[in-house]
């Protein structure tokens, strides 16, 4: 039988007992001496193990002493009358602790917990002093000695008919709070907990107040923080002020706060992210793209002051913004699906609606309808977003009355929300104006388009589309060119101008703009499909088929592209393949006019005529 490994190691580490010399001694005496020698060896082993254990415990206590970052609420000192009612010191401490835990859960943000001066982590507890000496008491003593962690203590006392509570975090001055009746005890505890939260976690407290829509109080907290000597803390204070300015529909004020914050910190990812979102909301698309690209670079590794979960969301959202501006809608749908996995229920719905909108832009109308079906917004902000995407999906599927209704609902809801008014001008108004024009309601479309901000890229493109639908080519060209000047690296305006040129028979000019659109958005199917239509009209069915097949790799569920592919095949004498393609186009939600054409083509024996150009829609 082999000796166990641990004892082989012990045998190597310890000197072997000297060989006994017991000649002539009685057997019992020899046996006793051998046992004694082995007991001495065992005692040495146990002493060594005890020394190792003591060293380990002391090392662990030392590391814990200097790295501890938890929150401890000590039992409050309370009057005897309170203790008789069940409100002893431990109960009061527990109530304060519970309220602190609730506030912390409601104040999650981009900021990493480790970047706070007083980082509690998840270690929050009521600590009850014990009598006697124990490892726990030694650990408590060493933590207090190091000054790490946050310790909260407090006193409850009566002054006439008033109940007073003072709560103190560490050595900070106490915050007295008073109420007149015992029925106000919950408000008293909440005020005491908020005072402690403000003293120890001011940024989180500001986030909590903002989410509770106590904006004036939140402004004060963030304003105080923005005056901090620590530049990093001041930068987070300015960011908080910027977010509230956005809530109150003051985008320029928000931008000024973000600009003030940038020079104060080396960790700029969160600020660039806020600016990217703001620029997207106000229609400064080129600037937004630049900031999203910055965020994507800055988040290659996790920034020190950004939370792990927020880092993943920021990186995905910046990828999504880049892909959407470049009209890479299949990629945008994929990223939105990944983003949904990182979010809670409410944001999960928003991500699903964003998927729906981008699926529609990528001409997968069936998927867009599936994502929108069976979901609704429980809150006003959610219904605004959902109805915007309902309008977009309906517009792209050629259901213009439904599109108008969706956009109208979204615009009504936007009027009730300060933060959504600016966003509605960019997210909803362009599609709404275009849907009105496509429905023949030009007077209303002109009024809406005329009120859009002139520095908004998607607004200028939509305004040009409205003019083009009325064949006001001069005004349309002017607006398309203005949009191109604002964002020469984005494909949307080039595509609109190409459609406009083609609608008036200027095929060569249209091809030039399509080339620019493809350069700006190499993963967008629309320029390829329209180029194929031009080649088909010129009699180049082979060239057209090549373009349609390239477009199919980017938008495989696009009914019009399948329809045009079938026409090219028919021109090349491949009637069976053409009819199969037309039949498949009926399966992927064509527009009403496309459906009518396809059904007619499948009934006809001869090659059908090429359909009219689709309505202008950039």
Is residue 210 within 8 A of residue 240, CB to CB? The reply is: yes
Q: Could you report the per-residue pLDDT of 59-111, keeping only the tens digit for each?
A: 554 544 444 455 667 788 778 777 777 778 888 888 888 888 888 888 888 88
Q: Three-class SS of residue 229?
A: coil
Q: Could you report the per-residue pLDDT of 464-480, keeping only the tens digit for each?
A: 999 999 999 999 999 99
Distance CA 435, CA 431 (A): 6
Distance CA 372, CA 386 (A): 8
Q: Could you report the per-residue pLDDT of 267-299, keeping only the tens digit for each?
A: 899 999 999 999 999 999 999 999 999 999 999
Q: For strands 175-179 and 124-126, give the pairing.
A: unpaired
pLDDT reported for residue 379? 62
Structure tokens at 536: 């088909």
Per-residue pLDDT band for 136 (boundaries 50, 70, 90) equals very low
Give the full edge-to-edge strand order of the sheet including 124-126: 124-126, 71-73, 150-159, 162-169, 175-179
pLDDT reported for residue 274? 95
Structural domains of the chain in order of their starting residue, each with its CATH number: 71-212 (3.40.50), 523-618 (1.25.40.10)
pLDDT reported for residue 544? 97
- Which of residues 456 and 138 earns the better pLDDT score? 456
Per-residue pLDDT band for 567 (boundaries 50, 70, 90) equals very high
Residues ≥6 apart with Cβ < 8 Å to 268: 262, 294, 298
Distance CA 286, CA 289 (A): 5
Residues pairing with 73 in the sheet: 126, 152
Over residues 385-405, mean pLDDT: 93
Q: What DSSP string runs through 226-267?
A: HT-SSHHHHHHHHHHHHHHHHHTT-HHHHHHHHHHHGGG-S-
Q: What percent of the chain has a predicted confidence (pLDDT) above 70? A: 79
- The helix/strand count (H/E) of the chain reads as 30, 5
């Amino acid at each position: 039988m082999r000796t166990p490994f641990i004892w082989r190691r012990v045998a190597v580490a310890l000197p072997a007992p000297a060989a006994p010399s017991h000649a002539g001694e009685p057997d019992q005496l020899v046996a006793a001496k051998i046992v004694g020698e082995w007991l001495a060896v065992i005692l040495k082993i146990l002493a060594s193990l005890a020394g190792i254990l003591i060293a380990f415990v002391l090392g662990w206590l030392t590391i814990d002493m200097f790295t501890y970052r938890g929150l401890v609420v000590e039992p409050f000192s309370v009057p005897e009358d309170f203790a008789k009612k069940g409100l002893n010191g431990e109960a009061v401490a527990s109530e304060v602790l519970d309220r602190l835990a609730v506030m912390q859960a409601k104040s999650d943000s981009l900021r990493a917990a480790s970047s706070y001066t007083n980082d509690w982590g998840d270690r929050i507890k009521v600590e009850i002093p014990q009598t006697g000496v124990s490892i726990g008491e030694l650990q408590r003593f060493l933590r207090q000695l190091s000054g790490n962690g946050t310790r909260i203590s407090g006193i409850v006392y009566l002054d006439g008919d008033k109940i007073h509570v003072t709560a103190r975090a560490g050595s900070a001055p106490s915050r007295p709070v008073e109420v007149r009746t015992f029925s106000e005890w919950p408000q008293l505890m909440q005020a005491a907990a908020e005072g402690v939260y403000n003293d120890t976690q001011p940024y989180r407290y500001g986030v909590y107040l903002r989410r509770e829509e106590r904006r004036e109080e939140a402004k004060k907290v963030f304003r105080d923080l923005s005056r901090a000597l620590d530049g990093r803390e001041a930068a987070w204070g300015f960011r908080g002020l910027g977010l509230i300015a956005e809530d109150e529909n003051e985008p320029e004020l928000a931008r000024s706060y973000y600009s003030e914050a940038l020079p104060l910190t080396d960790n700029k990812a969160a600020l660039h992210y806020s600016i990217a979102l703001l620029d997207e909301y106000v229609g400064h698309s080129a600037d937004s793209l630049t900031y999203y690209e910055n965020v994507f670079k800055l988040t290659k590794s996790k920034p020190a002051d950004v939370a792990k979960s927020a880092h993943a969301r920021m990186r995905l959202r910046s990828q999504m913004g880049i892909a959407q501006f470049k009209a890479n809608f299949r990629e945008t749908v994929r990223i939105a699906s990944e983003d949904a996995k990182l979010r809670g229920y409410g944001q999960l719905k928003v991500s699903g609606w964003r998927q729906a909108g981008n699926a529609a832009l990528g001409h997968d109308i069936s998927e867009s309808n599936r994502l929108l079906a069976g979901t609704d917004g429980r809150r006003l902000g959610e219904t605004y977003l959902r109805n915007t995407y309902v309008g977009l999906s309906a517009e792209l599927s050629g259901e213009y009355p439904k599109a108008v209704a969706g956009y109208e609902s979204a615009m009504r809801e936007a009027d009730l929300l300060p933060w959504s008014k600016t966003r509605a001008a960019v997210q909803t108004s362009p599609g709404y104006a275009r849907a009105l024009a496509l429905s023949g309601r030009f007077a209303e479309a002109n009024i809406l388009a005329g009120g859009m901000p002139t520095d908004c890229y998607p607004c200028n493109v939509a305004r040009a589309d409205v003019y083009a639908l009325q064949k006001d080519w001069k005004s349309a060209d002017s607006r398309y060119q203005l949009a191109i000047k604002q964002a020469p690296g984005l494909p949307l305006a080039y595509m609109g101008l190409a459609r406009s040129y083609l609608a008036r028979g200027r095929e060569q000019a249209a091809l030039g703009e399509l080339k620019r659109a493809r350069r700006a958005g190499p993963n967008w199917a629309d320029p390829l499909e329209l180029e194929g239509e031009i080649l088909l009209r010129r009699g180049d069915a082979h060239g057209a088929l090549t373009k349609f097949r390239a477009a199919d790799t980017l938008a495989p569920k696009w009914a019009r592209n399948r329809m045009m592919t079938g026409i090219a095949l028919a021109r090349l004498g491949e009637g069976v393949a053409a009819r199969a393609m037309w039949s498949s186009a009926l399966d992927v939600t064509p527009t009403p006019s496309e459906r009518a054409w396809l059904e007619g083509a499948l009934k006809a024996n001869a090659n059908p005529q090429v359909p009219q150009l689709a309505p202008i829609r950039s």
